[in-house]
Amino acid sequence: MSAEEDRSGLHAYQIVLRHIEAGILSGEHHAGDQLPTERDLATQLSVSRSAVREAMRVLQTQGLITSSTGPGRGTRIAPARGDALARLFQLHLSLSTAADADLTETRIALERSSAALAARRATPEALLRLQAVIDESELVEAVDQFNSLDTELHVMIARVGGAELTADLTVGLREAVRERIRTLSKALPDWPGHRAQLLAEHRQIIDAITQRDAPAAANLVEQHIRRAYRTLGIAP
């Protein structure tokens, strides 16, 4: 075993990973913060620069950091937590033998909660933003554009309810299956009919949120998800 291995059984690159993760968890590092240079990290942690580079590749793959060149260049903590979660969910869904069932029930649990919170907490301005997404969706017929607005609406519902972690998890789940939903939607024999049904269900959910009817909003979003997934063949 090399000199750079086995600090409590960790390889050198894992030492770097743990160090940066600990900084995020402790609040030392925040979204947008620039990390120390490769050379400084290597010196600080007594590891090689190749170990630092390996750790950075892992963190970038996980969506936790971003790297850029030019003015202000460097490695920074990524602000888009939903992107990181999406990658983790994609891996889970690829490996899980009960992926579809897990996905459906997890998404329903999250979105029931966020819809109910939105009904209780959404400001008048937030309600207008939700309605604006509905209005824009009604003008869009192509699968790709409609799917993007569909995702935006569901994430917005979570955010206007003030549940940021729920919103991040919602983003992760939605992004993890975005391509699958797009492909299945394009293969539907009656995409216009499915689109019309989605629009009607979206309007009902937003109406319940606007009327401050939390139980109805939660029930409607569950019915919406189950119906859409049955139509797409994602879940029975």
What are the C-alpha distances in Å from 184 to residues 98, 146, 195? 19, 14, 13
> What six digits make up the tokens of 132?
């604006």
More confident residue, 64 or 133: 133
Three-state secondary-structure class, residue 161: coil
Residue with tokens 């993890």: 176
Burial zone of 151 (CB within 10 Å; 0-12 exposed, 13-18 middle, 19+ buried): middle
Q: How far apart are CA 52 and CA 18, in angstroms?
A: 12
Just give the CATH number of 82-232.
1.20.120.530
Q: Is the pTM of this model over 0.75?
A: no
In the chain, where the domains are located: 12-77, 82-232
Contact 161, 122 (CB under 8 A): yes
Express each pLDDT in 108-134 by its tens digit: 999 999 999 999 999 999 999 999 999
Instruction: Compute the C-alpha angle 92/95/100, nearest 5°.
Output: 70
Answer whether residue 21 shows pLDDT above 90.
no
pLDDT score of 58? 79
The Cα 182–Cα 187 span in angstroms is: 9
The alpha carbon of residue 12 and the mean position of all alpha carbons in its chain are separated, in whole angstroms, by 30
Cα torsion 115, 121, 126, 132: sign:
positive
Cα 82 off chain centre by: 3
Q: Which has more pLDDT, 102 or 61?
A: 102
- The predicted structure's pLDDT at residue 159: 85
Q: Which helix (H) or strand (E) holds 64?
A: none
State the pLDDT at residue 162: 79
Hey, what's the torsion of the CAs at 209, 212, 215, 217, to 10 degrees?
-10
Cβ proximity of 61 and 90 under 8 Å: no
**74 bridge partner residues:** 68
What pLDDT is stored for residue 2 in this prediction?
Answer: 42
Percent of the chain clearing pLDDT 90 (strictly above): 47
Domain 12-77 indexed as CATH 1.10.10.60: no
End-to-end CA distance of the chain: 51
Q: Which alpha helices (H) appear in the chain, and where do they start and end?
A: 12-26, 38-45, 49-61, 81-95, 99-121, 124-138, 143-160, 164-176, 178-187, 191-210, 214-232
Q: Assess whether pLDDT exceeds 80 at residue 10.
A: no
| Nearest residue to 116 via CA among 224, 225, 216 | 216
